[in-house]
Amino acid sequence: MVDFYYQPGSSPCRSVIMVAKAVGVQLNKKLLNLQAGEQLTPEFLKINPQHTIPTLVDNGFALWESRAILVYLVEKYGKTDSLYPKCPKKRALINQKLYFDIGTLYQSFANYYYPQVFAKAPADPEAFKKIEAAFELLNTFLEGQTYVAGDSLTVADIAILATVSSFEVAKFDISKYPNVNKWYENAKKVTPGWDENWAGCLEFKKYFD
């Protein structure tokens, strides 16, 4: 059994749930209430001194940072390497999109929405422009492509799917980016665990209603 510390509304946590489903790993889910400071208990700090979620503990091996967890799950438990192929060039493209997600796309979400949601700050128009720029880039990457990295579903699609679905519940207009919109509709259909991802999104949506 693999212990998984998470919150269902978190898109990085949701990406792990989907990849675990895809490789057939059952997660022993342990809900952490961040608002109550449960990530700062001595017990959790011993597991993850950075006190972030998601955190995975596999038979005593602790790992955090969602995109590292995605790769670990495929490399350890995947029956094939299709979600994270061994070919160096294919893998490099997947890594590139994972880094695009963490450094540009998801970062733009966090920078614009989190101050409004958690600190009741006013919307920052400059931060919104960063979201639009990130979606323009993703739209360009997806020109003529069904998947974000290569010709089949990979962990890069799943990470970005978790992020883009958060933008949907935040009421960002994805339809303005036709290649992203087309990719998103397909990814929802072909990604294992989409239903649980969407249930987590709906939990997160309450912050935007």
Catalytic residues: 10
d(CA 67, CA 121): 29
Cα–Cα nearest to 189, from 150, 153, 136, 163: 153
d(CA 149, CA 164): 16
d(CA 21, CA 4): 13
- The residue assigned the tokens 């972030």 is 52
By CB atoms closer than 10 A (0-12, 13-18, 19+), residue 79 is: exposed
- The residue assigned the tokens 């011993």 is 46
- What are 170-178's contacts with CB under 8 Å, separation 24+? 170/109, 170/113, 170/208, 171/208, 172/131, 174/135, 176/135, 177/135, 177/136, 177/138, 177/139, 178/139
